A and B are shown apart, each in its own frame.
Chain A
Amino acid sequence: MSLIAEIARRRIRRNASASFLHSAALFCSSGTLTLLVIFQVQVNDSLRGVTAGLPLGDFMEQLRSSVTLTAVFLTVLTVLTVKIFSDMRFSEIRQSLAVLTSLGATGWQKSKMLLVDILVLYVPPVLLGTAAGLLAAALAGTGLSENTRGVEPGLYFATWPFLSGILIVTDSALYFNFLFAF
């Protein structure tokens, strides 16, 4: 195996835990955001329906505002984390390219390393984590709605923020671990 390929292989191994944590954190973030969106849609439907004008309606309005605020906060947190991950990744790439250039690496040799970095270390954690989170939350949201038909509305609506809360706490823990691991 050439040393360039060896550098890429060892870099993947060295960054495996950070990439996994990043992916898991994005899974939780996109999952939570999806759940919150589904929840918000249901609250909106509910406000137009049976709870409109009842005392529960005020509670639902407050809940809707808190959910929006949480979603915005979570989006900002996710964007910032992706940015930090990208900055770290690209600063490492720039440094490696500078070293290889000073040693006389060819454009192809540098491109090979750059491609491995982007295609293996950077893109998959972001894409897989986000896509899996969206899909899992969409399935969980649909399942939750179908399996809780007939449950008392207050209890039903409380389930969602509770579930999202667990995901947000997990998410924060993962981000913390990710930054620490990197």
Chain B
Amino acid sequence: MSIYIRRVSHHATSVISLIALLVFLPLFLLAIGKTVTLISKATGTAANIVIDTTSQLEPIKTDFYHAFAQGGEENNDMIASIIGDVKALKPKYIRIDHLYDYYNVVGKNGDTLTFDWTRLDAYINSIGSTGAKPVLALSYMPSVIAKDGNIINPPNNWDEWALVVQKTIEHYSGKGERNMPGVIYEVWNEPDLAQFGSWKMGGDKNYLTLYRYASIGANNAKNVNPFSLGGPSTTGLYKSWIMGLVNSGNRVNFFSWHSYLTDPKRFATDQRNIIDWLLPYPTYVLLPKFITEFGFTGAKSKGYGGTFGSAHAAAVIRQLISGGPTYLFSFQLKDGPLQSDGTGWGLITNDDNGLKKKPRYFLYNFLDAMAGTRLQLSGEGTWVTGFSSKKEDTIRLLLVNFDGNGNHAEAVPVTFANLDSGDYDLKQRFLVGRETKTTISVTEASFTTTISMPAQSVLLLELIKKN
């Protein structure tokens, strides 16, 4: 056997090395990235919940999350077929958009604008039947006044846009017409999104101009009940848009934005940010703040069909339970058609898929049990968060295990400190899950238990003193 060694030139070696580098370097970097992602997903802090049952904080608000939005996936009254189910959600407000492009409201006779409210009125009537007040996103530009007839363009004549807004407000808030108090008018919907016009804070498609003429129309409305006008209804909370409105000098009764964020803590960060921006503006800092759409992603996702969506919503509400927005609008009430794959945003499936309720539908009334005075709670973790309340002789704890990246399950130690001695009923109720009840005896002023929290679960635990 002989070994033949062929000498290769330096040039060839260099070329081979370069090719190897080009092939393997991206793979190496990809592997590093994946490893970091996996490690970061897996690392976090486990919860160790301690509730001081004698330390009472502020009253808990349970109204703010009873607000819902319905997108325009069908150009008809999407609520009509689910009025009973929506009414059971005890909605305070229901928001809709596409006012002027779906319901043939605005026409033109020569140079005169004409208004036909018949179809939109039917939709507003359905909203009213649920017990909610409407939030009307003044959108989109009526084609009869829009440049090139395009509903995401500015109007040919801004005065006509002001008139459309004026007539809308006079129709729904007018004492001589629908006579509805407390209607909220939001100027446009997601103006920064290309789909809805790519409006900017300047230039040819200036949102501030769109808003200014809406404000003029609102101010021109005669004989109307109190109503609110605001915006900018952007796809996220953006400082330039909020401060643009503040500095515009126009009528602003509220600030609104949408939040599609997987991390629930980002919702609390947004609240801190907007207050920080507005603190130097005393006449604006207290104005209502509406998150007029929220979810974990703006894209359609099967997560909305299962417990991922309900756990996310619960985790967001936990973040906003103190210092949250005036209203948090869940998007949306009903799926659009042809979404039987379960990717729709709805709390209820579409008529073509049996109007079935998804887990998120059951969350809102489930959370209402937490009404009372908030108790001091410590030891929340990366995935398991919660808040506690006391009402009369019942102490309650809401726990949420939300893992935006995987399927993290956790056994959570829970301690109720400074309890009165005696016997208690301990009830555990999972959202769309099992319910248990036991009796415990407290002798040393505290009670500790371990709760098994499956991935994407929401638990209500009640401790009721027995007489």
> Are A and B a genuine interacting pair, yes or no?
no
